[in-house]
Amino acid sequence: MQKFQIVKKPAYAIESVDNALQLILLLQERDTLRVNEAAERIGVAPSTAHRLLATLVYRGFALQDESRRYTAGPAIRGATRQGRLQDVVAVVHPHVERLAAAVGETVNLMARFGTGVRFLASVESTQLLRVGDRAGTVLPARLSSGGKAILATLDGEALRQLYTGRAAQLAGDQLGADEFSALQGELALVRSRGYALNLGRTEPDIAAMGRAVGQGRAWLALSISAPRSRSDVLERPETVAALASACDAAAAALEAAKLSSPH
């Protein structure tokens, strides 16, 4: 006779942990998952479901697209997706190193996930006063230089879906009419000059310049980070040209490796 064990919910189960695990199972079962659907399935308020999903995004168990839908992240999809991100870093890293050597400041590779950007890799400046390794850091896309550079490649409807409406409100990302208009103005400036600046908006003592990698709708960016005391180096013509050249070279390398798309 085959022996088996009936697994029951433990009496000491921690509700928030159990809810998060239920969401992970849902993400494994479905192609996409919305906040309201998640809330209904696990029996919690939409705001609670959003907080749980946001935590899963932070830990790599979920990803979020422009329509506020959640999909399984690299921690769930395993080696294929995780390997893909590692492959992207491996392909782009030589270009990050060359740019850091050329400009003498810290250079970062980042990717956008929803309204945030995650730093995938950094090469630090060799100067005594420098910006440190940013790998693993998550910042709001609309404030960071690389994030703004990526957002500038989106069309108006995709941008509106990210920052207006009920889903954005639940996520805590909703912008008022004036804020959204100001963001649109910033992104128009980014498009016109080809790069974005962040002068102390995420951290008071750090300045950064970012540019999207690739043509059309981008998901990656390179940024140069420097102490505010050396922020003048960022907009020098030679720095701007070096960043543009590195982004073009990285895009070509990703295209050759068939890694130019996030999906």
CB atoms within 10 A of CB 258: 8
Same domain assignment for residues 66 and 107: no
Predicted TM-score (pTM) of the model is 0.74
pLDDT in tens, the chain (263 residues): 444 444 444 555 578 888 888 898 888 878 788 889 999 989 999 988 988 988 888 777 888 776 678 888 766 765 444 457 788 999 999 999 999 999 999 999 999 887 888 899 999 999 999 998 888 788 889 999 999 999 999 999 889 988 887 767 766 778 899 999 999 999 999 999 999 999 999 889 999 999 999 988 999 999 999 999 999 999 999 999 999 999 999 999 999 998 877 64
Tokens of 166: 């009920």
Residue 122 is classified by DSSP as E
CA–CA gap between residue 56 and residue 208 (Å, rounded): 28
Regarding whether 220 and 100 lie in a shared domain, the answer is yes
By residue range, what is the domain housing residue 19?
15-77
In a shared domain, residues 112 and 236 = yes
Which contiguous run of DSSP H or E holds residue 97? helix 79-103
Place of tokens 């250079």: 107
CB within 8 Å of 173: residues ≥ 6 apart = 115, 162, 163
User: Quick one: 21 and 91 in the same domain?
Assistant: no
The number of folded domains in the chain is: 2
Same domain for 161 and 55?
A: no
**CATH code where residue 62 lies:** 1.10.10.10
Under the phi-then-psi rule, with left for phi > 0, alpha for psi from -120 to 50, and beta for the rest, what region is 236? beta
Look up residue 204 and give its amino acid.
Answer: P
Q: Are residues 70 and 134 in the same domain?
A: no
Same domain assignment for residues 48 and 90? no
CA distance 50 to 54: 6
